[in-house]
Amino acid sequence: CTVRRGYGPPGPATSLGEKARAMLGAVPVLVVALSTIGGIYTGLFSPVEAAGVGVALVALYGVATRRLNRTVLREAGRDSVVTTATVMLILIAAHMINPFLALSHIPTAVGEALASLGLGTLGTLLMILFAYVVLGLFLEGFAMLVLTLPIFFPVVLQMGIDPIWFGVLVVLTLEMGLISPPVGLNVFIVKSVAPAVPLGRIFAGVLPFWLAMVATLAVLIAFPQISLFLPNTMIR
């Protein structure tokens, strides 16, 4: 560590050639990232198609480097099946609950309740984001989105809030929930990697990052064009 040298031992010295070779190893990853994101941005393919393009490029790289074999394919296929099944179960549950929300008029009731508080657009937005932060303490992000967007999104549209801006803010609050106690899924992932480190110390270590995300959220709320500039250029 160059800032606080007592935090870690010095690493071995590396030559310029070694650094260049290390950077060359990252070129395939950079090509995949630029191809998928660049294809989406230029309109060559949709985000769903970009996922397929990314998989194809990675597969070609694996074949070219002889790292792709039956064992790797079998493990990747198994992981894909498990992940897809998990997502589909959540979507099935959401599909079952959406008719109930429509028949019970819960989104309308929530919108009327928030409007009756007289908080205005900004106050309503802050209340919704606070609800996401609290829910993020206990729920997984994708499940929370599927369950809450049918309730909150009509309210957002009714209040005239830009849906893209709202989406960026919600994603940021979900990320805050991933490092917030008591659940903090990312914190428990770190705990599994470093079991000797107490959980309280890990939470204390992520506190500066959590505060930085709060500051980022405040800036994005104060200046919406920061999060809307790139999407607006893509739409145009």
pLDDT tens for each residue of 130-163: 888 877 777 777 777 877 888 888 888 888 889 9
Distances (CA, A) of 186 to 39, 177, 180: 30, 9, 9
Task: Say what the pLDDT of residue 211 is.
Answer: 92
Same domain, 194 and 148: yes
| Token representation of residue 194 | 């470093």
Do the domain assignments include residue 35? Answer: yes
pLDDT averaged over the chain?
82
| pLDDT tens-place string over residues 199-235 | 888 888 888 999 999 999 999 999 988 888 877 776 6
Q: Does residue 174 surpass a pLDDT of 70?
A: yes
Same domain, 62 and 143: no
Same domain, 130 and 41: no
Q: Does residue 164 surpass a pLDDT of 80?
A: yes
| pLDDT tens-place string over residues 89-110 | 767 876 777 677 667 777 677 7
| pLDDT tens-place string over residues 113-131 | 777 777 788 888 888 888 8
Task: Say what the pLDDT of residue 221 is.
Answer: 92
CA 92 – CA 89 distance, rounded (Å): 5
Quote the domain boundaries for residue 44.
Answer: 1-68
Task: Say what the pLDDT of residue 212 is.
Answer: 93
Q: Does residue 236 surpass a pLDDT of 60?
A: no
Last residue of a domain, one of 14, 42, 68: 68
Same domain, 126 and 233: yes
Residue among 166, 181, 173 at smallest CA distance from 133: 173
Top-confidence residue, 165 or 15: 165
Task: Say what the pLDDT of residue 166 is.
Answer: 92
C-beta separation of 132 from 177 below 8 A? yes
| pLDDT tens-place string over residues 57-91 | 998 988 888 888 888 888 888 988 887 887 787 67
Alpha-carbon torsion, ordered 43, 48, 49, 53, to 10 deg = 110
Last residue of a domain, one of 68, 95, 120: 68
